[in-house]
Amino acid sequence: MNERTVKGKRIGIIGVGNIGASILRGLLAADGGGVSGKIFIHDVKKENLESFEGGRESRVAVCESNEEVAKKSDAIILAVKPTDVHGVVEEIAPFINGGKMVVSVAAGVPTSAIERDLGEGKKVIRVMPNIGARVGESVTAMCRGTYAGEEDEVLAKELLGAVGAVYSVKERDIDVITGLSGSGIAFFAAVIEAMAEGGVYEGLPYDLSLAISARTALGAAKMILAGDEPSTIKHMTASPGGTTIRGLYAMDAGGVKAGIIEAVSEATKRAREISGEAQQKINR
């Protein structure tokens, strides 16, 4: 087995909120190839740690500090808000040695910012998962910093693979992917909700309408991932003079497509703004 696979590596997670807890649960649930040893965690919000203390989750060791997580782990997942990253990295920097690696999930924080705070030569991997991680359906984009090697990326891929699909990308593409999937999962939630409300408008009870709407989205997603083009699904469904073409016409007339393109574009612009602000801090 590759020396740097997850098995046998000591994993740390700093920040056990929405994303940190989802990754932790995914790692605990991952069968066989998952993390075999303890996972060291810390969060300033004590209630986020309670459900992982003792009992069934005894593979999790709750640490007193970020310093303790950094000292005890080979790979440290940073899952705090972007504004908290600088402080946490400065705190753990003295303990990131001996080939340890930092995996940051923070939106808009470039690897160069974390490398600058950690010090020359330290291994950094940047990832952009999404909240689908809660159900093992994240899509995660990943890139390496200057000093992380291929074997570090393999390890990070195994870690994030516990909560969904992982794609290696160039760092310059991470902001677009933040808009497309990090934020985009909320756009799909809004579309599914709007479809459900369409059902309600035409007389269905909300719960039934929402379940049917969500499963319809799932079917479309699975067909596309299996190789069908979106246009093929449209052509297979839209018979001449039928219901689907009438609905598609209404969507176009309502500007749905333009609105969705705009949503991804605006979210990407905001991600770039945040990245730019982080870059300015480095240059100061």
Ligand X SMILES: NC(=O)c1ccc[n+]([C@@H]2O[C@H](COP(=O)([O-])OP(=O)(O)OC[C@H]3O[C@@H](n4cnc5c(N)ncnc54)[C@H](OP(=O)(O)O)[C@@H]3O)[C@@H](O)[C@H]2O)c1
Question: Which residues would be at the binding site for ligand X (CB under 6 A)?
Answer: 14-15, 17-20, 42-45, 48, 66, 79-82, 84, 87-88, 105-107, 128-131, 182
Cα–Cα dist 278/249, whole Å: 43
- Locate 191 and state its tokens: 């579309």
How near is the Cβ of 131 to ligand X at its closest, in Å?
4
Alpha helix stretches (DSSP H) within 226-253: 230-237, 243-253
The beta-strand segments (E) located in the chain are: 11-14, 39-42, 60-62, 75-78, 101-104, 123-128, 138-144, 164-168
How near is the Cβ of 250 to ligand X at its closest, in Å?
31
φ and ψ at 181, to 5 degrees?
-120, -40
Q: Which contiguous run of DSSP H or E holds residue 47?
A: helix 47-50
Q: Residue 108 — left, alpha, or beta (φ > 0 → left; ψ -120 to 50 → alpha)?
A: left
How near is the Cβ of 144 to ligand X at its closest, in Å?
18
| Closer Cβ to ligand X, 76 or 80, answer by number | 80
How near is the Cβ of 181 to ligand X at its closest, in Å?
8
| Closer Cβ to ligand X, 4 or 103, answer by number | 103
Cα–Cα dist 161/146, whole Å: 22
Cα–Cα dist 5/151, whole Å: 8
Cα–Cα dist 283/150, whole Å: 28
How near is the Cβ of 271 to ligand X at its closest, in Å?
9
| Closer Cβ to ligand X, 4 or 141, answer by number | 141
| Closer Cβ to ligand X, 111 or 209, answer by number | 111
Amino acid at 161: G
How near is the Cβ of 21 to ligand X at its closest, in Å?
8
| Closer Cβ to ligand X, 237 or 268, answer by number | 268
| Closer Cβ to ligand X, 87 or 254, answer by number | 87
| Closer Cβ to ligand X, 186 or 211, answer by number | 186
| Closer Cβ to ligand X, 4 or 145, answer by number | 145
Cα–Cα dist 95/101, whole Å: 11
Pairing of strands 75-78, 123-128: unpaired
Nearest residue to the partner ligand X, using Cβ: 17
Report yes or no: 124 and 106 within 8 Å, Cβ to Cβ: no
Bridge partners (DSSP) of residue 166 are 140
How near is the Cβ of 127 to ligand X at its closest, in Å?
8
How near is the Cβ of 84 to ligand X at its closest, in Å?
4
